[in-house]
Amino acid sequence: MKPPRFRYCSPRILDEALVLLDQYGEEIKILAGGQSFVPLLNMRLAAPAYIVDINHISELHYFETEPDYLAIGAIARQRQVERSVLVQEKHPLLVEVIKHIGHMQIRNRGTVVGSIAHADPAAELPALLTCLDGEVLAQSMHGERVIKAKDFFAGYLSTTLEAGELLTEVRFPWLARQAGWSFIEFARRAGDYALVGAMAVLTPALDDTCMSANIAYFGVAGSPIRARAVEQVLIGTQLDAHTLDAAAGAARDVVGEDMQDVHATVEYRRELASELTRRVLKQAWARREQLEGAQ
Amino acid sequence: MATRWFGAPVQRLEDPRLLRGRGNYVDDIDLPEMLHAAVLRSTQARARIVSIDASAAWSLPGVHLVLTAQDLGEVLEPSPLLVPHAALTQPRTQLPLARDTVRYVGEAVALVVADDRYIAEDALDLIDVEYESFPVVHSLEVASITDGPLVHDDVPGNVAAHLAQTVGDPDSVFASAPHVLHETLLIDRGAAMPMECRGIVARWDAQDSMLTCWISTQGPLPIRNGLAAIFHLPEHKVRVVAPDVGGGFGTKIMMFYPEEVLIPFVAMQLGRPVKWIEDRREHFISANQERSQLHEVEYAFDDAGILLAVRDTFLHDTGAYAPYGIIVPIITACTLPGPYRLRHYSSEFTVLYTNKVPVSPYRGAGRPQAVFVMERIMDRIASELHLDRLEVRARNFISPGEFPWDVGLVYQDGGPTKYDSGDYLAGLDKLKVLLDYDTFPALQAQARSEGRYLGIGVGAYVEGTGIGPYEGALVRVESDGRVFVSTGVTTQGQAHITTFAQIVADQLGIAPDDVMVSTGDTQAFNWGVGTYASRAATVAGSAIHIAAVKVREKAKMVAADLFEAAPEDIELADGKVFVRDAPHRALTLGQVAISSNPLRYAYGENARTLMSMKLAGPRPGPALPEERGGPGLEASGFYSPPHGSFASGIHGAIIEVDPVTCNVTFVKYAAVHDCGRVINPMVVEGQVHGGVAQGIGGAFFERLVYDEEGQIINASFMDYLLPTAAEVPSLLVDHVETPSPLNPLGVKGAGEAGVIPVPALFASAIDNALAPFGIRIREMPLHPSRLYELLRDAKDKPAL
Ligand SMILES: Cc1cc2nc3c(=O)[nH]c(=O)nc-3n(C[C@H](O)[C@H](O)[C@H](O)COP(=O)(O)OP(=O)(O)OC[C@H]3O[C@@H](n4cnc5c(N)ncnc54)[C@H](O)[C@@H]3O)c2cc1C
């Protein structure tokens, strides 16, 4: 389990990294926290000729509140975001999600952006970005572009990022004040990738019916899944038992036909997706803030 | 015998060093000029090697050697069969490098030696092996197909061995028994997964004609003897050291693993030290595994729940080779009767070759399977007769007055399966207290009314431990009063350094800190076998005790001469040797050691004080009187048990099952354990804790999944799930002490105990939790997705 030979570059400024990426195209890989990439390298599942280590580019080390979203720079560690009092207060769902990633030691090194770039379909953060309709910022020698989550994840461990592009920032939208949220994953052990995970953000209307629902799953297909069909079931309801049954039933369909592995059959994953749906919906709805005038 | 230290919870003497990172594991050994090896492993489970082209690997800069089978000369011999048995009619063991056939994914095909491991692995990628693949024997089912694929062309039906044993007259009991049931029970593969994988450093010193190997092994002495024979060296010119070993659990008692021959071979050939460290990926496909058995069991019982007879027929998967003979299935057969008064029992097993990693004992060694079968029987009797599960066990227990109890079978060591002592009911009573057994039904009913499913499960076992043939030790007092102890067994984390020191400390009147224990260095002690079968404390511990008693007697003799007193009036305590009732007439143990060695000069503080004391001069005659038997306070001791001693225990747990996700969590876990006299309760509890954790792994998390091509599809810690501290509950442990009459210390083994009953009690607890659905667990290990299927099927079927 030793990697093949590669050349290592460690730029201090972003432009230098972008030049390297431009120059070496498909032959270069980015090293962030290394928590996913280094194992791949050691198992010789990745064998790039060049590695650009972005850990020393201090201008990418930030997280900032913007009016519509929390912006997180490419080398902010998962653990830093998790421990930030500001984020705990303003984006508790993000903190809850991060807590479920691996173990403390992993989160000390692993970056939020690295997890998004890696696009593991069983990972928590890509699902959250999908759930919230977040976006990412990609930069290259030739400019920058903002990509919506739904246009970014492109199947198992792949994204629409192009050769020469660096993901410099990820943007997690804020939740509406009255929204209730819930995140539950079913993993075999504490810290494992989930067999199935689900999250829900439910926003009540003035009449305390569900006005909007954002529901996403991970571990169910090649990419994180936003479940519009489940969401539709909820709109305009008060999440009574009948609605929950319908939503739980609809959730079975999010599990792909090929989601069979050593840990779970498709049928079992469907059962999990259905049950987690029930649980996140109940919890999210219970956490909503009832608006003035609602009974 | 003074017993100040024996029985005390002395803190582990090895820990300060290990916890500070000062351990010295094989991979910590770096020698000047050292090269690094990597092994090319078969990617096919059953194939003919058509050709191997290593030319590209040879020409990679930094590569020193590429070896294939044809380069091995006379070293290309199958590994020795470790424990032959008449029933093993088709023994097959592995070559260091496959010659023309590979029989499992992971089998060694070629070896590269290079400047570093990186280059060595680059070179592996350049070796081109052409295989012609054949249908794979990937399961016991395929192995038993008539005219099906064969692992070894010359082994018909893949049958390595067949053994039938009968006690009493089961056939006639079955003919007239009030109740007879039949069930199929399955246990699948798992592996020990020590934290430290295997590893070897070998150095050939041409000047001295000396081969030194540091190996992460449980048995350096047998390896030393074997290497001497293979390389035609005198035994004293081969030194094998097991330095700190990061866990073995049986996997490392296997010999010879191919690398154990190959690495010394290349070190000798190249004249430079060579290191090979197994990585985890290799460990999954090349370190021995265990557990897979399929039992067809029939059992008869009466209306009172008394088990009358058992007929068990099982298939045992030995993998592609049988290096360890049929030890594991023999242990299964002998363990099955457990703590119960079973007078009519027939056991018949067939050992089958499969295209999988070879099998040798892994902690528990055939016992978890046996206990699973027997405890499933006990639970079933209880449910059939609507009796309490513990009550059924109690009615069947052998009672304390019935020892020694002869099960009637030949044990793995060739001796009788004869229980030396035990008090199973005492253990059961303690377990009830720890679990609050009698209040559980109320707790369970309460939980069910809230839609939660709690279950309680138990598992009882008897474990043969402390088998022969023998172990030995040397005990020597040094001039500074500290005591050096060396023994041929090794230590892999079981705290032998501490428990052995406790044994010596009591005899010599010193503190355990003053005892320096050396294990696993063939140059420090020349005789012995190794650490396995829960035998180190029992067998080596007894040898150490015997040697320490001899040293004590000699110290008394020497001191008696110096004090002009009678030896029986000499006492040893607090590091001093003195005349009873006259403690002012005292020497330190070190001073007595110096006096016992009649040199012309002695050095150090102890010697100077000695000179200034008014002691009796030497007696006339030879400086070393005959009766002292040699200079120094030194003695060897050997101990060879008449047969194994039988430890026992009973564990219980309360679990909660989520009836939708089928996840299981432990609410409470209690273990009552009897390993005879306890040398150090903290150490025994540690062994139980570790064993239970490993048992929980083997019951619900760890599972080796082979596909139909014989590939392990979860060969990494991402998918082979070792339980972590978060999954293992905190444990309640209590002891019963029924001393063993077989050894001078009264001890029995404790190393494997923890793991043995876990699958049984886990099944028991799940059945109990999900009783409303009428579920019956018949396989291990489980995992939530599988439990989901079993529950779904149970719901679809009318209740049992
Ligand atoms: C034991 C263990 C348990 C884990 N458990 C979980 C878990 O439960 N859930 C989970 O989500 N993750 C888990 N992880 C993975 C962890 O979260 C990783 O940290 C994360 O997936 C990747 O972040 P990283 O900073 O380490 O990226 P790296 O490993 O450095 O990179 C990952 C990939 O993304 C690319 N990349 C990184 N940054 C950029 C960028 N700025 N622009 C473009 N490409 C980029 C890299 O080239 C590489 O292909 C676990 C890891 C381990 C070792």
Check whether residue A74 and residue A116 sit in a common domain: yes
Taking an 8 Å cut-off on Cβ atoms, the answer to whether B281 and A272 are in contact is no
Matching residue, tokens 């350094």: B497
A188 touches chain B (CB under 8 A): yes
ipTM of this predicted structure: 0.95
CATH number of the CATH domain containing A26: 3.30.43.10
Nearest residue (CA) to ligand 1, atom 6: A102
| Shortest-distance atom of ligand 1 to CA A29 | 47
A15 is in which domain, residue-wise? 7-53
What's the pLDDT at B767? 98
Contacts of A227 (CB under 8 A, 6+ apart): A215, A216, A217, A250, A251, A254
Distance from C-alpha of B560 to C-alpha of B474, rounded to nearest angstrom? 23
Mean pLDDT of chain A: 96
Q: Give residues with Cβ within 8 angstroms of B153, minimum separation 6.
A: none
8 A C-beta contact, residue A254 and residue A221:
yes
CB neighbours (10 Å) of residue A293? 8
Question: Residue range B539-546: average pLDDT?
Answer: 96
Residue whose Cα lies nearest atom 38 of ligand 1: it is A114
* A231 found inside a domain: yes
List the single residue in A188, A189, A271 with the smallest CB-CB distance to B660.
A271
Q: How far apart are CA B112 and CA B383, in angstroms?
A: 59
Q: What pLDDT does B403 receive?
A: 95
Residue linked to tokens 């290592």 = A8
Q: Are residues A149 and A69 in the same domain?
A: yes
pLDDT over 50 at B293, yes or no: yes
On whether any CB of chain B is under 8 Å from the CB of A22, the answer is no
| pLDDT computed for residue B797 by the predictor | 80
Q: How many domains does chain A have?
A: 3
Inspect the interface and report whether the beta carbons of B724 and A189 lie closer than 8 Å: yes
Residue environment code for B133-145, b if the CB has 16+ CB neighbours within 10 A, otherwise e: eeebbbbbebbbe
Tell whether the model's pLDDT for residue B605 goes beyond 90.
Answer: no
> Which percentage of chain B shows pLDDT scores above 90?
90
Residue of chain A whose alpha carbon sits nearest to that of B121: A2
Q: Do A189 and B723 touch (CB under 8 A)?
A: yes
Q: Candidates A10, A37, A218: which one to mutate for ligand 1, based on the most atoms within 8 Å of Cβ?
A: A37
CB B301 within 8 A of CB B187: no
pLDDT score at B798? 65
Q: For residue A2, tell me if it sits in a domain.
A: no
CA within 13 Å, CB half, B331: 31
Q: Which of A43, A193, A264 sits opposite B785 (nearest CB)?
A: A264
Q: Does A44 touch chain B (CB under 8 A)?
A: yes
Residues B761-787: tens digit of each pLDDT: 999 999 999 999 999 999 999 999 999
Model confidence at A295, pLDDT cuts 50, 70, 90, reads very low
**C-alpha of residue A132 to centroid of ligand 1, in Å:** 20
Assess whether A23 and A94 both reside in one domain: no
Q: Give the residue ranges of DSSP H helices in B144-279.
A: 170-176, 220-230, 258-270
Tell me whether residues A186 and B663 touch, CB distance under 8 A.
yes
SS3 label, residue A8: strand
Asked if A139 and A162 sit in the same domain, the reply is yes
Give residue A35 CA to ligand 1 midpoint distance, Å.
Answer: 5
Is residue B1 pLDDT above 70, yes or no? no
pLDDT average, residue stretch B685-696: 96
DSSP letters spanning B53-113:
E-HHHHTSTTEEEEEEGGGGGGG--PPPPSS--TT--S-----SS-SSEE-STT-EEEEEE
**Domain containing A286 — which CATH number?**
3.30.390.50
Which residue among A44, A189, A195 places its CB closest to the CB of B726?
A189
| pLDDT tens column, B106-164 | 999 999 999 999 999 999 999 999 999 999 999 999 999 999 999 999 999 999 999 99
A43 with B713: Cβ contact below 8 A = no
- Show residues of chain A in contact with B279, CB under 8 Å: 1
For B727, the closest of A189, A193, A271 (CB atoms) is A189
SS3 B187: strand
Expressed in angstroms and rounded, the spacing between residue B206 Cα and the centre of ligand 1 is: 50
Spatial separation of the C-alpha atoms in residues A26 and A28, rounded to whole Å? 6
Same structural domain for residues A268 and A197? yes
Which residues of B fall below an 8 Å CB-CB distance to A? Answer: 117-118, 121-122, 125, 279-281, 660-663, 701, 703, 705, 713-714, 718-719, 721, 723-724, 726-727, 783-785, 788-789
| Interface membership of A268 toward B (CB under 8 Å) | yes
Least Cα distance to B502 among B491, B492, B517 occurs for B517
The single-letter DSSP state of residue B462 is: E
At residue B621, the pLDDT reads 85
- What's the whole-number mean pLDDT along residues A276-293? 91
Closest CA to B515 of B3, B8, B13, B2: B13
Point out the residue among B122, B279, B727 whose CB comes nearest to the CB of A4: B122
CA distances from B782 to A39, B138, B187, B588, B704 (A): 28, 20, 10, 60, 12
pLDDT surpasses 80 at B294: yes
Last residue of a domain, one of A157, A173, A189: A173
A47 and A93 share one domain:
no
Interface contact flag, B661 A190, Cβ < 8 Å: no
Does residue A295 sit within a domain?
no
d(CA A265, CA A270): 9
How much is the pLDDT for B295?
98
pLDDT at B622 over 90: no
Q: If pLDDT is split at 50, 70 and 90, which confidence band does A4 have?
A: very high
- On whether residue A249 sits in a domain, the answer given is yes
Q: Ligand 1 pocket test: pick from A115, A168, A193 the residue with the most ligand atoms within 8 Å of its Cβ.
A: A115
- Chain centre distance of CA B465: 10
- Based on the fold, state whether residues A45 and A102 are members of the same structural domain: no
The CATH number given to B468-639 is 3.30.365.10
Determine, yes or no, domain membership for A193: yes
Q: Kindly identify which residue of chain A lies nearest to residue B790, measuring between CA atoms.
A: A268
Rounded-to-integer distance, Cα B119 and Cα B1, Å:
60
Query: Could you tell me the distance, in angstroms and rounded to a whole number, from the CA of residue B700 to the centre of ligand 1?
Result: 28
pTM (2 d.p.): 0.96
**Beta-carbon-side half-sphere exposure of residue B777 (alpha carbons within 13 Å):** 31
Give the mean pLDDT of B223-240.
97
Tell me if B509 sits within 8 A of B573, measured CB to CB.
Answer: yes
- Tell whether A163 and A257 lie within a shared domain: no
Mean pLDDT of B247-267: 95
Q: Report the chain B residue with the minimal C-alpha distance to residue A260.
A: B785
Per-residue pLDDT band for B532 (boundaries 50, 70, 90) equals: confident
> A235-261: b or e for each residue (b if 16 or more CB lie within 10 Å)?
eebebeeebbebbbebbbebbeeebeb
The Å distance, Cα A33 to ligand 1 centre, comes to 7
**Residue B649: C-alpha distances to residues B61, B381, B671, B699, B738 (Å):** 58, 21, 7, 18, 11
Average of per-residue pLDDT across B38-48: 98
| Residue range(s) of every CATH 3.30.365.10 domain in chain B | 397-466+644-800, 468-639
* Domain end point (choices A138, A173, A208): A173
What is d(CA B392, CA B307) in angstroms, rounded to the nearest whole number? 9
Q: How far is A45 from chain B (nearest CA, A)?
A: 13
Do both A205 and A277 map to the same domain? yes
- Distance (angstroms) between ligand 1 centre and the Cα of A34 equals 6
Q: Which residues contact B622 (CB under 8 A, 6 or more apart)?
A: none
* Dihedral sign of CA atoms B435, B436, B439, B442 in order: negative
Residues with CB under 6 A from ligand 1: A 29-37, 74, 101-102, 106, 110-111, 113-115, 117-118, 120, 123-125, 161, 166-167, 192-193
Element spanning B202, H or E: strand B199-205
Span from the CA of A39 to the centroid of ligand 1 (angstroms):
10
CA dist., res. B650 & res. B761, Å (int) = 9
Whether residues A44 and A84 share a domain: the answer is: no
Give alpha helix (H) positions in B450-515.
496-508
> Which residues on chain A are in Cβ contact (under 8 Å) with B705?
262
At residue B85, does pLDDT exceed 50? yes
Q: Are B177 and B302 in contact (CB under 8 A)?
A: yes
**Same domain for A149 and A196?**
no
Residues B307-334 have pLDDT tens digits of 999 999 999 999 999 999 999 999 999 9
- B139: CA distance to ligand 1 center in Å? 37
DSSP letter string over B591-657? HHHHHTS--S---HHHHHHHHHS--PPPPSS-SS-GGG-SSSSEEEEEE--SS-EEEEEEEEEEEEE
Which of A36, A104, A129 has the most ligand 1 atoms within 8 A of CB, as the residue to mutate? A36
- Give the integer Cα–Cα distance in Å for B210 and B537: 32
Q: Does A241 touch chain B (CB under 8 A)?
A: no
Residues of B in contact with A195 (CB under 8 A): 784-785
The yes-or-no verdict on residue B733 having pLDDT over 80 is: yes
Tell me: pLDDT of B473 over 50: yes
Q: How far is the CA of A109 from the centre of ligand 1 (A)?
A: 9
3-state SS string over A189-200? CCCCCCCEEEEE
Query: Atom 20 (ligand 1): residue with closest C-alpha?
Result: A115
Q: A153-176 pLDDT, tens per residue? A: 999 999 999 999 999 999 999 999
Reply yes or no on whether the pLDDT at B366 is more than 80: yes
Euclidean distance between CA atoms A165 and A144, whole angstroms: 8
Position B393 pLDDT exceeds 80: yes
Residue B68: its pLDDT value, please? Answer: 98
Buried b (16+ CB within 10 A) or exposed e, B665-684: ebebbbbbbbbbbbbbeebb
- Respond yes or no on whether the N-terminal peptide bond of residue A3 is cis (omega within 30° of 0): no
Q: Is A131 on the interface with B (CB under 8 A)?
A: no
Instruction: Kindly state the percentage of chain B with pLDDT values over 70.
Output: 99
pLDDT tens for each residue of A70-98: 999 999 999 999 999 999 999 999 999 99
Topology given in CATH for the domain delimited by B397-466+644-800: Aldehyde Oxidoreductase; domain 4 (3.30.365)
User: What's chain B's average pLDDT?
Assistant: 95
Residues A252 and A186 in one domain: yes
Kindly give, in sequence order, each residue whose CB lies less than 8 Å from that of residue B429, ignoring residues fewer than 6 positions away.
none
Atom of ligand 1 nearest to the CA of A166: 42
CA of B721 vs chain A CAs: smallest distance (Å): 8
Mean pLDDT calculated for residue range B216-230: 96
Q: Inform me whether the C-beta atom of residue A275 falls under 8 Å from chain B C-beta atoms.
A: yes
Contact between B660 and A275 using a beta-carbon 8 Å cutoff: yes
Residue B585 has a pLDDT of 84
**Residue A270 or residue A291, greater confidence:** A270
Q: Is A268's CB within 8 Å of B121's CB?
A: no
Q: B723 contacts in A (CB within 8 Å)?
A: 189
Ligand 1 atom at shortest distance from the alpha carbon of B717: 1
Give all strands of the β-sheet with B582-588 in edge-to-edge order: B570-573, B576-579, B582-588
CB contact under 8 A, B661 and A2: no
